[in-house]
């Protein structure tokens, strides 16, 4: 699932991702995913 999300961003949304540092982009990507996984396991 994450792989398809990243591919979709590479195709369609690279322009807005380039405005942010890599660390900020990683936080935007993975913090919601972690929250989602946590809520699934609860």
How confident is the prediction along the chain (42 residues), in pLDDT tens digits per residue?
A: 455 445 555 555 555 555 555 656 555 666 566 676 677 776
Structural domain total, the chain:
1
Task: Name the residue range of residue 5's domain.
Answer: 1-39
Residues recorded for the chain: 42
pTM: 0.21
Tokens of 1: 């699932």
Instruction: Specify whether the CB–CB gap between 33 and 25 falls below 8 A.
Output: no
Q: What was the pLDDT predicted at 40?
A: 73
DSSP string, the chain: -HHHHHHHHHHH-HHHHHTS-HHHHHHHHHHHHHHHHHHHH-
């Amino acid at each position: 699932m994450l792989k398809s999300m990243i591919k979709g961003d590479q195709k369609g949304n690279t322009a807005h991702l380039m405005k942010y540092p890599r660390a900020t982009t990683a936080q935007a990507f993975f913090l919601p995913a972690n929250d989602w996984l946590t809520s699934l396991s609860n």
